[in-house]
Amino acid sequence: MEKLLEVKHLKQYFKAGSGKRKLFVKAVDDISFDIYKGEVFGMVGESGCGKTTTGRSIIKLYDATDGEVYFGGKRIGGGIASMIETIKAAKVKAAKEIVGYQPAKLAKAQIIQEAEAQLAQIDPKDIEHVQIVKREKAQKMADLKAKIQADPTKFADNQAEIDKIKAELRTLINVERNKITALKKDNAFRGETLETMKKIQMIFQDPISSLNPRMTVREIIAEGLVVSGVKDRKYIDERVSHFLRVVGLLPEHAFRYPHEFSGGQRQRIGIARALIVEPELLIADEPISALDVSIRAQVINLLKNLQKEYNLTIMFIAHDLSVVKYFSDRIAVMYYGHMVELASSELLFRHPLHQYTKSLLSAIPLPDPHYEKTRKRFTYNPACHNYSATNKPSFVEIEPGHWIMASPSEIEQFKVEMAQSDKDFFEKLTEK
Amino acid sequence: MEKERILEVKDLRISFRTQQGILKAVRGINFELFKGETLAIVGESGSGKSVTSRAIMGISAGNSIHEGGSIYYYNSGIKSFHQVEDSEHAEEEDIIDLMKIDEEHFHKLRGTKISMIFQDPMSSLNPIMKIGKQVSEALYLKLGLSKSEAKVRAIELMNDVGISEPEKRFYQYPFQFSGGMIQRMVIAIALANNAEILICDEPTTALDVTIQAQILELINKKKTERNLSIIFITHDLGVVANMADRVAVMYAGKIVEVGTVDEIFYNPKHPYTWALLSAIPDLDSKETLFAIPGTPPDLHFPPAGDAFAPRNKYAMQIDFEEEPPMFKISETHYAATWLLHPDAPKVEMPSNLKNRIERNLKKARKGA
């Protein structure tokens, strides 16, 4: 299958606080996945787990901290944090190496270090002691100076080696800087990136606040075309009424304002606005959460029909698992900024492996009283993994198309589990 | 054993004065609540579920008009001057009409006998008051405990609803709690004074699935511990299946179907219930979902006849002309649709829904 969107090691951190209390909220922390052409990619997780942030980073409503996003093979966004880190680390390493080739500087640094170690042990209020240490330090320095003056060749810097290290550092920094410039160029809303970005559109959760109350429906829907430079009024009108009809509204509605519509109709306007620039990828961020039960089915059916009709690829973000299961081909489960499991919806429901996925699946409310009243719920405890330095989790493909965040020891355990549940499943099938 | 009746709503009609005119929010509803049972009221927003529950709590909005009907509260144990006049033995039977008693008497009921949990946990606590104070406030104002006694009791209550380190949490503010924990606190406050009736107005809509399951388990545990009667308002049918003993389906200010949870989910009769059940996918659904066309009616101008008729593909001529009465299906199961009239044509529920119910029943039989 053709990859449409590729996300590689995407990180999105937010700064919180300032000064000493400054900290980074790791909303999305190193996730990688692909979305194939024509599929519906579901994303679930509890609120605050970073699923919406992922969607918004892809469409570049946020500037990604690190990682890369490719659309149709072309890089459209990314972050520069890792390159800056590399440069910093290289500079520190080079500085350390250079000191090794400067005997005079090294000797001085040693004396200062020794004195500081001594001072650290002494109570700073004990002035007499401090004075003694300082005097000793000054004496040693004077001795060293005398030595250097006596034999300058022995203490001369090894300039050739130093230049070599500096040159190496310079080339490395240049390589990284070039990477940064290339990324910044790709990141900017200009040229090719701008053209590519038009192929990604988004539908938002709240149909009330995502439409400007002072614009008519025609203005809202046409804005995408106007911004991309279409000036032909007749053409715009034609497109607007076409897409109004596509989403199940009437062309007459174009001259009304958003407040004149019900929630479901407003969500349709949002969908029409996204469709008018003919996107290939639609990011639907909880499009039905704010809608009433009887209206939800209308919007789900509409999205499903549109997906078939326009061969759209949809990234469907939601927390309602039964809807995600109904709608998606593949499902990714997120937990605290990490992707913990990614599988086709059939596989995920047949044998969920990660503890968190299991707890999530066991909590879905279903309209079946018998099931509900006998349900056993499974609680997730993040401490159950026993992760350690040698038993670190990584995101691995445990069977074709089934990715999971697990440590090596867990993978062994999961494989046994998987074989067992598959056996049960096929036994049930043959029984029928 | 005859179940003990605790609350009875009789032909309740409530309207609101608005700029567009009189909005008829509740248009004559009847139901009963028995001791120790959970009655779920289901319906979409604007169907009048919250208005009903607020009337029971006596906290209707200022622009509401009580057009008629009563809410009888049996065996309250509180002597009142405003007992039911038309009942001969009102004095002995101890019946209060909640629509007639004044605020002063309602004060004795609210919180001590009838409590309520609201939808948004974040906005139902005072953000600038310590959690502990908000719990113990209910205790010393209503039960007359001293402050130190109230604190001990409050910590017990917090422990009871599963808050860890209650002594430390006692001195914290609501913003230091997560949504699920705040909802636990709200439940603790609602149950602080041993209320008999608990009204839950969409208590889990703002919460995540896993947290939602925890809160529902907590409510169920409290219900069996204290023999609570619960009115559970929601639009999530999955939650209803979990919580309810009986279900009332509301549409446009009327109850269209009422029955036990098994009757509603396995043998629904009203087209609106069919539509609601087939509009949500379950884990096995693959076919196209049934979408209810159109939108709910504007209750400023309530339609003649069945309010659901314009959105109902099974509607007959009579549905647009005359309101259907409640037809009896079994002792506990009633539905207001002309389809149940002996002269009506036989109409089966949609095949998708039928298949699903059969699937679920098969599973249930297997499990049992």
Query: What single letter denotes the amino acid at residue A416?
Result: V
Interface of B with A in 194-253 (CB under 8 A): 208-213, 217, 235-242, 244
Higher-confidence residue of A296 and B257: namely: B257
User: pLDDT tens-digit profile of A373-412?
Assistant: 787 778 888 777 777 777 788 888 888 888 888 888 888 8
Please answer yes or no on whether B241 and A371 come within 8 Å at the CB atom. yes
* Overall average pLDDT of the A227-233 stretch: 88
pLDDT confidence bin for B93, thresholds 50/70/90: low
- B307 shares contact with chain A (CB less than 8 Å): no
Q: What pLDDT, on the 0 to 100 scale, is given for residue A236?
A: 93
Q: What pLDDT, on the 0 to 100 scale, is given for residue B130?
A: 92
Q: Is B44 left (phi over 0), alpha (psi -120 to 50) or beta?
A: beta
- B292 shares contact with chain A (CB less than 8 Å): yes
pLDDT confidence bin for B86, thresholds 50/70/90: low
For residue B86, give how far its alpha carbon lies from the nearest alpha carbon of chain A (Å): 40
Q: Are B96 and B73 in contact (CB under 8 A)?
A: yes
User: Among candidates A226, A315, A248, which has minimal Cα distance to A33?
Assistant: A315
Question: For residues B243 and B217, what is the distance between their CA atoms, to the nearest angstrom?
Answer: 9
CB atoms within 10 A of CB A394: 10
CB-side neighbour CA atoms (13 Å) of A343: 22
CA B145 to chain centroid, in Å, comes to: 31
By residue count, chain A amounts to 432
User: pLDDT tens-digit profile of B182-204?
Assistant: 888 998 888 888 888 999 988 88
User: pLDDT tens-digit profile of B270-318?
Assistant: 999 998 888 888 777 777 788 888 778 888 888 888 888 888 888 888 8
Question: For residues A371 and B209, what is the distance between their CA atoms, to the nearest angstrom?
Answer: 16
For residue A378, give how far its alpha carbon lies from the nearest alpha carbon of chain B (Å): 9
Please answer yes or no on whether A369 and B289 come within 8 Å at the CB atom. no
Mean pLDDT estimate for chain B: 85
Rg from Cα positions in chain B = 22
Higher-confidence residue of A99 and A243: namely: A243
User: Among candidates A166, A175, A256, which has minimal Cα distance to A211?
Assistant: A256
- Residues of A within 8 A of B238 (CB-CB) are 322, 364-367, 372
Handedness of CA B210, B211, B213, B217 (dihedral sign): positive
Q: What pLDDT, on the 0 to 100 scale, is given for residue B209?
A: 82
Q: What pLDDT, on the 0 to 100 scale, is given for residue A219?
A: 92
User: pLDDT tens-digit profile of B208-240?
Assistant: 888 888 889 899 998 999 899 999 998 888 889
- B122 shares contact with chain A (CB less than 8 Å): no
Q: What pLDDT, on the 0 to 100 scale, is given for residue A6?
A: 92
Nearest-CA residue of chain A relative to B297? A262
User: pLDDT tens-digit profile of A89-103?
Assistant: 999 999 888 888 888
B243 pLDDT above the threshold of 60: yes
B80 pLDDT above the threshold of 70: no
- B299 shares contact with chain A (CB less than 8 Å): no
pLDDT confidence bin for B2, thresholds 50/70/90: low
Model-level pTM? 0.82
> What are the distances in angstroms from CA A212 to CA A9, A85, A207?
35, 41, 10
Question: For residues A343 and A20, what is the distance between their CA atoms, to the nearest angstrom?
Answer: 42
Q: What pLDDT, on the 0 to 100 scale, is given for residue B87?
A: 52
Please answer yes or no on whether B276 and A349 come within 8 Å at the CB atom. no
User: pLDDT tens-digit profile of A165-197?
Assistant: 899 999 999 999 999 998 888 888 888 888 888
* Helix/strand/coil for A9: strand
* Overall average pLDDT of the B157-167 stretch: 87
User: Among candidates B231, B226, B223, B222, which has minimal Cα distance to B199?
Assistant: B231
ipTM for this prediction: 0.79
B79 pLDDT above the threshold of 50: yes
* Overall average pLDDT of the B161-186 stretch: 88
Could you tell me which residues of chain A have a Cβ less than 8 Å from any Cβ in chain B?
Answer: 46-47, 262, 264-265, 292-298, 300-301, 304, 319-323, 325-327, 349, 359-360, 362-375, 377, 379-380
* Helix/strand/coil for A12: strand
User: pLDDT tens-digit profile of A14-54?
Assistant: 888 888 888 888 889 889 999 999 899 999 988 888 888 99
CA A411 to chain centroid, in Å, comes to: 24
Q: What is the interface size between A and B, counted as CB pairs within 8 Å? A: 131
Please answer yes or no on whether B288 and A373 come within 8 Å at the CB atom. no
Q: What pLDDT, on the 0 to 100 scale, is given for residue A292?
A: 78
Nearest-CA residue of chain A relative to B246? A369
For residue A77, give how far its alpha carbon lies from the nearest alpha carbon of chain B (Å): 31
A234 pLDDT above the threshold of 90: yes
Percent of chain A beyond pLDDT 70? Answer: 100
For A366, which of B44, B241, B364 is closest by C-beta distance?
A: B241
User: Among candidates A45, A34, A118, which has minimal Cα distance to A71?
Assistant: A34
Please answer yes or no on whether A367 and B265 come within 8 Å at the CB atom. yes
User: Among candidates A204, A226, A206, which has minimal Cα distance to A215?
Assistant: A226
Question: At CA A182, angle to CA A179 and CA A184, rounded to 5?
Answer: 105
B1 pLDDT above the threshold of 60: no
